Amino acid sequence: MHTRRNFLQQVAAATIAIPLSSLSSLAAVRARDGKVLRVALMGLGGYASRVAEAMQSCTKAKLTGIVSGTPSKIKDWQNKYGIPEKNCYSYDTFDQIKNNPDIDVVYVTTPNALHHNNVIRAAAAGKHVICEKPMALNAKEGREMIAACRKAGVQLLVGYRMHFEPKTLEVVRMRNSGEFGKILFFQGQCGFRIGDPTQWRLNKALAGGGSLMDIGIYALNGARYMVGAEPVWVTAQETKTDPVKFKEGVDETIQFQLGFPDGTVASCLSTYNMNNLDRFFLNGEKGFAELQPSTGYGPIRGRTHKGELTQPHKTHQTVQMDEMAGILLEGRQPVVPVNGEEALKDLQIIDAIYQAVKTGRRVDLHLG
């Protein structure tokens, strides 16, 4: 009996007519018609594996290429996903991807410090780019990436999977419709106790920081889309209990506060030293919303003053990739933006948080 992967391999090689009775058959036909987003994953680590598995259930996106500096990983992925040799690249040969019509977009899932170069190279090759968050190490790099994509005439999206999550979007809908009244307060708590001290996330040269760059960005970005406004100031404080594990420039725990134009405030916690922290709370004059867990891989759970949120769970990366296919192929506009300009605002705030930690002073924000 054929596996789904073997079936898709046969479909790609065949030229015979295919019945449209099954979802996989329909996806294959759309791929030949150019209506499926053809994706190359760059950086075959743990998160890329999660994305690849989730994409097996996509109807608008398909994994067609890979980029890695590890030959053994390339072979393993070829065998698992049926990726042809001509769609496999090392970092040395990556620029040749410009001549490959089987790839529409490169999804960059490498360590943070590599995003800048990887995105600019992909853009120069004429490919759209999806970049994992944080998009870059700082706002300066982010602006250069946006400019490179604009110059190349390609789109830059960022892997904000929560922007497509059903319960999250229901809270956004309720806020937009005025069901919470004037928003007064947001709280975001994101953290876990990190393990292996030798991993790249604890290496400032590769990560650009510590918990804030990795997990705190969820609370930061969440404050913006839950409140529905852009902050105008930030204050922040750092706590470090293990300077051996969390070396200079690698934050262990940061608390930060955001102020919004109408007086709304947000209080957020980012940490690599505490578990059981994955909670958003939004409070308004007429009601509230709580998500807990709020940003994990799921299922997300939530409630409001009107009761429990019951939207069904869907694998986040499956939804994200299908929705991003709609953006890139059909010009669709998401409820919450996922473009480079959206990510640049997060980078500007991150820069300001680190400045506030260093100076102990409030930092005014001028986003955009």
Active-site positions read 133, 218
Spell out the alpha helix ranges (H) of 134-238.
139-152, 166-176, 204-207, 211, 217-227
Helix/strand/coil for 32: helix
Can you tell me the distance from the alpha carbon of 367 to that of 221, in angstroms, rounded to the nearest whole number?
A: 13
d(CA 211, CA 233): 21
| 8 A C-beta contact, residue 204 and residue 248 | yes
75/83 Cα distance (integer angstroms) = 9
Q: Are 101 and 126 in contact (CB under 8 A)?
A: no
Distance CA 152, CA 124 (A): 6
Task: Give the pair of three-digit tokens for residue 45.
Answer: 């680590």
Q: Of 274, 273, 271, 313, nearest to 291 (Cα)?
A: 313
Look up tokens 């680590």; give the residue: 45
Backbone phi, psi, residue 191, to 5°: 180, 165
Q: How far is CA 308 from the centre of its chain?
A: 26
Contact 36, 30 (CB under 8 A): yes
Radius of gyration, CA atoms only, the chain: 21
The amino acid occupying position 123 is A
Instruction: Return d(Cα 45, Cα 54) in angstroms, integer.
Output: 15
Strand-pair partners of 253: 239, 271
